C-alpha cells in the first residue's frame, strides 16, 4: 500500500445554528485517507460521523456552517482545499474525485426514473465529452460520418455552450449517444455484481430489493471512477446475509479499482471485517486513529476501550458505558468524554487534550498517554 | 420444567385483494405452520431476516392478529394439551375436544377471556418513538394498561406507575413529561414500564434495542435480564442481531420464510448449527475481531417472496445441499437428539 494521502481533514469545525442554540457538531476533527485503503469511521449517533463526510463533499446542510479548518484533496500533483473551491470546481469534484453512498438506498433513488436514466444522468453530467467521442467513433465505423447526428455530436464536443449547439441538439436523433450511455451503465452494473444487468437497467427503484437497490446506488457512485468513495452506513438497514454480500463487494472495489474508501459505520464487527485503519469519533472529536489490528488489540483512549467492551460476548453479560452522550449545545470544557471516563484527570476538565501521534500511525487525544500535560 | 407457551402448526396469512370487488386474489404466507414450545422463565430467541415473519408470529401469539389455523396454549396444563393432541388425531369432531379447546387454546378466545389474557402477555416494540403516543404524558402512557384492565385507577394507579418507573431506571420526575422529552434509551424504558405495569408472565421483546446506540443497548439488555430474574418473566426475544440473541437467550429458533427451520439451546445453535440456512446466517455475522476475517460470501441471492414461496423446502433455491427431495416435499421439524430440532432432509437422512 502506498502512503500517498488523498484526503486530509485538518482541525475541521462545523457548527449548526439552531433555535435551541449553537450545536458544535465538529470540534477540530483530524482524519486522513491514504490511497487504496479503507478507513473506518466509528462512533455513536450524533458523534459527527456523517457531518464529517458531508463536509468533505461540501454538502453540510443549513443551518450548519463550516467554521474553520481545511480539507486538502490530492488532485494530480497539487493539493487543493475543498473549502476554498468555487461552485463549478465543486461540481466537477463531486462525482469525479469523491463520490458518496448513503444509508437508505431507496431514499436516494428517484422513483419515477429507471436505473438506466439515473446512472446515465450522472455519466452525461460528468463524462459527456468522452461519451460523445465514443458515439462519433461508432458512427464513423458504421459509415455515417457525415450524418446530421454525427455533426451534432461534433458540435456538442467543440462548442458545448454556444447558442447554435444548444438549439440544434434538440433536433435529430441521439440514438447513438443513448446506446453509448446504456453500454456504460450495463458495464458499471456488471462491476457491482448485479445479475442480468441489461434487465435491471430498465427497472424502476420499487422493483429492486433492498440489497439490489444498494448495489445500484454503489454503481451510481462508481459511474465516474472516483478516486475516493465515502460510504455512509451502507449496510445498516440490510440483513446480515445481504450485508455480507455488500461488504464483499466493497472489498472487491478496493482490490479491482484501487479505490480509497471512507467507511462510516457504528458496527464494530463490520470495521473488524473490512477496514484497514479506524478512526473513532466521540461528540464531535476524533479521539483515536490507528491500524485496525492495533485498535482492537491495544486501544489507548478510554472511550475506544469502553466501546470495545460493550460488544456483547456470550457468558460475559453486557458492559455498558455509564452516562449518556453529552449535548453539543454548550459542550463541557476540556475533554468531552471526561464525565463518563473513569480515568479523568484534573487537566481533562480545563484543556482539550491534543490529538497526537503516540506510536507510529497511532493517534489519540488523551492525557493518559503522554501528550503534553 | 414446564411449558408456558405451546404453539402448534400456527398459520397467519394476509390476503392480497384485487379487482373491483376487492376479492382476495392471493395471500402473503407470513407465518406458515410454526410449532414451538417456550419454557417457563426462559428467554426464547427468535431470529431471522426481515420479512421472514418474526414479528407476525409474535403478534399472532399475543392474539393481536387472529390466526388462520393452528393452536396456541398459554399456561395450559400439559395433560390437557396432550389430551387435545390425542383427540385431534383420533376423534377430531368430539365435543370434548371442542370444550377443551375453548378452555385452553387461546386462538379461540374472544371478548372477556381475551381481555384477561392481555394482562398476562405484553409486548415491547422496536421503536419507542412510534409506539408511544406523543400526546400522552408518561403517567397516562404507563397507567393506561391498569385502567384498561380495571386493575387500578387514580391515586392507586399512580403509585403503581411510580413503582414500575423507578424499577426500570426512571424517576418520579418522569411522570408529567411527554415522550419527546426523553432520549431514545429512556423512551424505551417508558415502553418497558408500560409493558410490565400489569405484571405479565410473558413479554415479547420485538427488536427492542435496534433503535438505540451500542452503549445504551448494553444498559437496556442488562435491565431485561434483571427484570426477568426479579419478576420471573418469560421472554420471547425477536431480533435480527445474532450477537445479542446469543448472549441473552437460553434457546433460539431460526426462522426462514414463515417457517422455523431449526431450534435448540443457544450453545447448540451457535456452536453446531445443522440447517444450511442457520450455518449461512451465523457465518454472515461480522465478527468484531480483525484477526478472524472471512472473505467469502456464505449465501447468494435474496429471500424469495412469501406470496409464492418455493415448493418443498423453502430454502432449496439457495441451499448448497439441495437434493431432488427438497424440491418436492417439505421437511418436518425433527428432533435430532438433545432437543435439537431441524427441518432439513440433508440432516435427517432417514426421514426423507
Q: Which domains does chain A have, with CATH numbers?
A: 1-97+226-315 (3.40.50.300), 111-223 (no CATH)
Q: H-helix or E-strand containing B35? A: strand B23-39
Backbone angles phi, psi at A67, to 5 degrees: -100, -25
Q: Which residues of B319-343 are buried (b: 16+ CB within 10 A; e: fewer)?
A: beebeeebeeeebebeeeeeebbbb
Q: Taking CB atoms and an 8 Å limit, are B289 and A272 in contact across chains?
A: yes
Q: Taking CB atoms and an 8 Å limit, are A266 and B214 in contact across chains?
A: yes
Distance CA A230, CA A246 (A): 14
Mean residue pLDDT across chain A = 86
Between β-strands A228-232 and A260-265, what pairing exists: parallel, antiparallel or unpaired? parallel
B350 close to A (CB below 8 A): no
Q: For A314, name the nearest residue in chain B, comparing CA atoms only.
A: B247
Report the residue count for chain B.
352
Mean pLDDT of B282-303: 83
Report the SS3 class of residue B228: helix
Q: Taking CB atoms and an 8 Å limit, are A306 and B295 in contact across chains?
A: no
Quickly count: other Cβ atoms within 10 Å of residue B257's Cβ. Answer: 23
Distance CA A153, CA A146 (A): 11
DSSP annotation of B154 reads H
Evaluate if residue B333 carries a pLDDT over 50: yes
Residue A63, preceding peptide bond in cis (omega within 30° of 0): yes
Q: Which domains does chain B have, with CATH numbers?
A: 3-18+27-249 (3.40.50.300), 254-286+304-351 (no CATH)
Which of A209, A240, A293 is opposite residue B302, by nearest beta carbon? A209
The four Cα atoms A333, A43, A226, A109 give a dihedral, to 10 degrees, of: -110
CB A294 within 8 A of CB A362: yes
Evaluate if residue B141 carries a pLDDT over 50: yes
Mean pLDDT of B312-326: 88
pLDDT at A148: 79
CB B102 within 8 A of CB B43: no
- The residues, any chain, with a CB within 8 Å of residue A364's CB and separated by 6 or more, are A287, A288, A289, A290, A300, A301, A355, A356, A358
What is the per-residue DSSP string for A320-350? --SS-PPPSBSPPSS-TTGGG-TT--SHHHH
CB B131 within 8 A of CB B205: no
Q: For B294, name the nearest residue in chain A, comparing CA atoms only.
A: A273
Regions of chain A short of the pLDDT cut 50:
1, 372-373
Of B166, B159, B171, B204, which Cα lies nearest the Cα of B59?
Answer: B204
Q: Taking CB atoms and an 8 Å limit, are B293 and A240 in contact across chains?
A: no
Q: Taking CB atoms and an 8 Å limit, are B280 and A241 in contact across chains?
A: yes
Distance CA A59, CA A281 (A): 20
First to last CA, chain B: 32
List helix spans (H) across chain B.
54-61, 78-90, 95-104, 111-120, 128-131, 138-149, 154-167, 184-196, 214-231, 242-248, 266-271, 276-284, 324-328
Q: Taking CB atoms and an 8 Å limit, are A244 and B297 in contact across chains?
A: yes
Distance CA A51, CA A245 (A): 27
Report the SS3 class of residue B152: coil
B229 close to A (CB below 8 A): no
pLDDT in tens, A206-229: 988 888 898 899 999 888 888 899
pLDDT in tens, A24-44: 889 889 999 998 899 999 988
Distance CA B20, CA B18 (A): 7
pLDDT at A373: 44
Of A320, A43, A307, which Cα lies nearest the Cα of B224?
Answer: A320
pLDDT at A42: 92
Which of A239, A308, A320 is opposite residue B240, by nearest beta carbon? A239
Q: Taking CB atoms and an 8 Å limit, are A272 and B290 in contact across chains?
A: yes
Cell output for B299: 449465501
Of B118, B127, B123, which Cα lies nearest the Cα of B235?
Answer: B123
Residues of A in contact with B285 (CB under 8 A): 240, 269
pLDDT at A223: 86
Cell output for A190: 456488471
Distance CA B298, CA B281 (A): 8
Mean pLDDT of B286-294: 86
Evaluate if residue B235 carries a pLDDT over 90: yes
pTM of the prediction? Answer: 0.86
Q: Taking CB atoms and an 8 Å limit, are B299 and A241 in contact across chains?
A: yes
Query: Using CB atoms and an 8 Å cut-off, which of residues 231-290 of chain B contact chain A?
Result: 240, 242-244, 246-247, 266, 270, 280-281, 283-290
pLDDT in tens, B40-52: 999 999 998 888 8
Q: Is A105 left (phi over 0), alpha (psi -120 to 50) or beta?
A: alpha
Residues of B in contact with A243 (CB under 8 A): 284, 286
Task: Give CA separation, A190 vs A185, A219, B26, B147, in Å.
Answer: 8, 9, 35, 60
CB A228 within 8 A of CB A97: yes
Cell output for A58: 461540501
* Rounded CA Rg of chain B: 21
pLDDT at B189: 93
B interface test, pick of A212, A241, A263 with most B CB neighbours within 10 Å: A241
Query: How many helices (DSSP H) and strands (DSSP E) are in chain A?
Result: 14, 12
Please give the order of strands across the beta sheet that includes A277-282. Answer: A98-101, A228-232, A260-265, A38-42, A277-282, A285-291, A362-364, A356-359
Mean residue pLDDT across chain B = 89
- The residues, any chain, with a CB within 8 Å of residue B188's CB and separated by 6 or more, are B124, B128, B208, B209, B211, B212, B220
Q: Is A46 left (phi over 0), alpha (psi -120 to 50) or beta?
A: left
Amino acid at each position: 500500500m502506498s502512503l500517498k494521502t488523498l484526503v486530509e481533514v485538518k482541525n475541521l469545525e462545523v457548527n449548526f445554528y439552531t433555535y435551541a442554540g449553537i450545536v458544535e457538531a465538529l470540534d477540530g476533527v483530524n482524519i486522513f485517507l491514504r490511497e487504496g485503503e479503507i478507513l473506518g469511521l466509528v462512533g455513536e449517533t450524533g458523534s459527527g460521523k456523517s457531518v464529517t463526510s458531508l463536509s468533505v463533499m461540501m454538502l453540510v446542510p443549513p443551518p450548519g456552517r463550516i467554521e474553520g479548518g481545511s480539507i486538502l484533496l490530492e488532485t494530480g500533483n497539487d493539493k487543493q482545499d475543498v473549502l476554498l473551491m468555487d461552485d463549478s470546481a465543486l461540481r466537477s469534484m463531486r462525482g469525479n474525485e469523491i463520490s458518496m453512498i448513503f444509508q437508505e438506498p431507496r431514499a436516494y433513488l428517484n422513483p419515477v426514473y429507471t436505473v438506466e436514466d439515473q446512472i446515465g444522468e450522472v455519466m452525461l453530467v460528468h463524462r459527456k465529452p468522452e461519451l460523445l467521442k465514443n458515439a462519433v467513433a461508432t458512427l464513423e465505423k458504421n459509415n455515417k460520418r457525415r450524418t446530421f447526428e454525427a455533426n451534432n455530436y461534433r458540435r456538442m464536443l467543440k462548442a458545448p455552450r454556444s447558442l447554435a449547439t444548444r438549439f440544434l441538439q434538440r433536433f435529430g436523433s441521439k440514438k447513438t449517444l443513448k446506446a453509448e450511455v446504456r453500454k456504460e451503465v450495463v458495464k458499471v452494473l456488471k462491476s457491482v455484481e448485479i445479475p442480468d444487468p441489461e434487465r435491471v437497467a430498465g427497472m424502476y427503484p420499487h422493483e429492486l430489493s433492498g440489497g439490489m437497490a444498494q448495489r445500484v446506488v454503489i454503481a451510481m457512485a462508481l459511474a465516474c471512477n472516483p478516486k475516493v468513495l465515502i460510504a455512509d452506513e451502507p449496510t445498516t438497514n440490510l440483513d446480515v446475509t445481504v450485508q455480507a454480500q455488500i461488504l464483499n463487494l466493497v472489498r472487491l472495489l478496493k482490490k479491482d479499482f484501487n479505490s480509497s474508501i471512507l467507511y462510516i459505520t457504528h458496527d464494530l464487527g463490520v470495521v473488524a471485517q473490512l477496514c484497514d485503519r479506524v478512526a473513532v469519533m466521540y461528540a464531535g472529536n476524533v479521539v483515536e486513529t490507528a491500524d485496525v489490528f492495533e485498535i482492537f488489540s491495544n486501544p489507548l483512549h478510554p472511550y475506544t476501550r469502553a466501546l470495545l467492551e460493550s460488544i456483547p460476548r456470550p457468558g460475559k453479560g453486557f458492559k455498558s458505558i455509564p452516562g449518556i452522550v453529552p449535548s453539543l449545545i454548550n459542550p463541557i470544557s476540556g475533554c468531552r468524554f471526561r464525565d463518563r471516563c473513569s480515568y479523568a484527570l484534573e487537566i481533562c476538565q480545563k484543556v482539550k487534550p491534543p490529538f497526537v501521534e503516540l506510536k507510529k500511525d497511532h493517534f489519540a487525544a488523551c492525557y493518559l498517554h503522554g501528550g503534553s500535560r | 420444567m414446564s411449558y408456558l407457551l405451546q404453539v402448534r402448526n400456527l398459520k397467519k396469512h394476509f390476503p392480497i385483494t384485487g379487482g373491483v370487488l376487492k376479492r382476495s386474489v392471493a395471500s402473503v404466507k407470513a407465518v406458515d405452520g410454526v410449532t414451538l414450545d417456550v419454557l417457563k422463565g426462559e428467554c426464547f430467541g427468535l431470529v431471522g431476516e426481515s420479512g421472514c415473519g418474526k414479528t407476525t408470529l409474535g403478534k399472532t401469539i399475543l392474539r393481536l392478529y387472529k390466526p388462520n389455523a393452528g393452536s396456541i396454549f398459554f399456561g395450559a396444563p400439559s395433560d390437557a394439551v396432550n389430551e387435545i393432541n390425542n383427540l385431534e388425531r383420533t376423534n377430531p369432531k368430539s365435543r370434548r375436544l371442542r370444550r377443551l379447546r375453548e378452555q385452553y387454546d387461546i386462538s379461540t378466545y374472544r371478548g372477556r377471556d381475551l381481555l384477561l389474557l392481555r394482562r398476562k402477555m405484553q409486548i415491547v416494540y422496536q421503536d419507542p418513538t412510534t409506539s408511544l403516543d406523543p400526546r400522552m404524558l408518561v403517567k397516562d402512557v404507563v397507567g393506561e394498561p391498569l385502567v384498561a384492565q380495571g386493575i387500578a385507577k387514580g391515586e392507586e394507579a399512580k403509585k403503581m406507575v411510580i413503582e414500575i418507573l423507578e424499577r426500570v431506571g426512571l424517576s418520579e420526575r418522569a411522570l408529567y413529561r411527554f415522550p419527546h422529552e426523553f432520549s431514545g434509551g429512556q423512551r424505551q424504558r417508558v415502553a418497558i414500564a408500560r409493558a410490565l405495569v400489569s405484571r405479565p408472565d410473558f413479554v415479547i421483546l420485538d427488536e427492542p434495542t435496534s433503535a438505540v446506540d451500542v452503549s445504551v443497548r448494553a444498559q437496556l439488555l442488562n435491565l431485561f435480564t434483571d427484570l426477568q430474574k426479579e419478576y420471573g418473566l418469560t421472554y420471547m426475544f425477536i431480533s435480527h442481531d445474532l450477537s445479542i440473541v446469543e448472549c441473552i437467550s437460553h434457546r433460539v429458533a431460526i426462522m426462514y420464510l414463515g417457517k422455523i427451520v431449526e431450534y435448540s439451546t443457544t450453545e447448540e445453535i451457535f456452536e453446531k448449527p445443522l440447517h444450511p440456512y442457520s450455518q449461512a446466517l451465523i457465518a454472515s455475522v461480522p465478527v468484531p475481531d480483525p484477526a478472524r476475517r472471512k472473505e467469502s460470501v456464505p449465501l447468494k441471492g435474496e429471500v424469495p417472496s412469501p406470496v409464492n414461496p418455493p415448493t418443498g423446502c423453502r430454502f432449496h433455491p439457495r441451499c448448497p445441499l439441495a437434493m431432488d427431495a427438497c424440491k418436492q416435499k417439505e421437511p418436518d421439524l425433527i428432533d435430532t437428539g438433545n432437543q435439537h430440532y431441524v427441518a432439513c432432509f440433508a440432516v435427517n437422512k432417514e426421514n426423507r
